[in-house]
Amino acid sequence: MGKEIEVAILFADVVGSTKLYELLGDARARDMVGICIDVMRAATDQNHGTVIKTMGDEVMATFPTADDALNAAAQMQRQITSHPQLKVDEQTVAIRIGCNFGPVVLENRDIFGSAVHTANRMTSQAKAGQIMTTATMVERLSPDWRTSVRQIDIATLKGRSSEVALFEVLWQTEDVTSMVPEIAITSREREKASKSQRLRLRYQGQEVLVNETRANITIGRAEENDLVVKGNLISRLHARVEINRNKFMLIDQSTNGTFVLGKDGEEAFVRRDSMQIRGEGLIGLGKAPDSNSSQVIRYTCEE
């Protein structure tokens, strides 16, 4: 008879291990995967976790708290990214990690349940070097960790009828603006920051402002977005716009990408990446913006 417990569940696997074997041969590739597994095991042990099992290039582990799981996940990413023996053609071998929190059935040193499947699905949603998690996990994080998590998408996972919010964990400290030391901000930057900067976005009668008060907005066809834009080429959570160190950044999270046309005629395209937007111009979701189209978003940076 299994025992039901609540835990944080973590899956971590090596990205592109099949290609590693093709490039390096069986012996060297196996050694590299082995190093990754050793790092994953050590990070789990050092953060109060338990390795449930390893499956080829993948580790499944549990932790008593959500913070313990993310501490281990961040340690895994840092150590594998910087490991001197994990370089292939100047590229570092990478891992991806998925986490969830919930009830599981513990039986014969293994765990079962829907929370386990969701954690595994988070791993499949992650790209190389990413840590992905769920709202259930985020709710159980300490305030420090919660500031390092951002929602990046909404997805329907295999085996789930309802949609699930996807959260990325910013494990690299340079990605978390709240962790920038005060001493690093120069007097010139302070003077610039004191000016009231805002980005105005307009679409079919809707208008939103991005400024110091509202530093992050989302755009997409789901009703939960700050700026709702309908269309077949538009993802449910298509893009975010945020102010970061006095720069307005557009972060695309979509399938079809985002197009930006500046007033000066300069065109740009971004997909699953970010870019700075300046001045004024047009934004097109999934297709190039047309000033005569009702689907276009107009933006203006103001001081």
DSSP string, 170-196: --SGGG-GGGS-GGGS-HHHHHHHHS-
Kindly list the structural domains of the chain, giving each domain's residue range(s) and its CATH number in brackets, ordered by start: 3-177 (3.30.70.1230), 182-302 (2.60.200.20)
- Quote the CA–CA distance of 206 and 47 in Å, as a whole number: 47
Tokens of 83: 């490991």
Q: What is the pLDDT of residue 20?
A: 87
CB within 8 Å of 78: residues ≥ 6 apart: 171
Residue 117 near residue 102 (C-beta atoms within 8 A):
no
Q: Which residues of the chain have pLDDT under 50?
A: 174, 176-194
Taken as a whole, the chain contains a residue count of: 303
Please tell me the pTM assigned to this model: 0.60
Question: How many Å separate Cα 267 from the centre of its chain?
Answer: 26
State pLDDT tens for residues 201-253.
999 989 999 998 888 899 999 888 899 999 989 998 999 999 887 889 999 98
Beta bridge partners of 4: 105
Q: CA nearest 99: which of 134, 48, 150, 143? A: 134
- Quote the CA–CA distance of 246 and 82 in Å, as a whole number: 30
Q: CA nearest 166: which of 98, 221, 243, 267? A: 98
Exposure string of 111-131, with b = 16+ CB inside 10 Å and e = fewer, is bebebbbbbbbbbebbeebbb
Taking each continuous run of H as one helix and of E as one strand, the counts in the chain are 7, 21
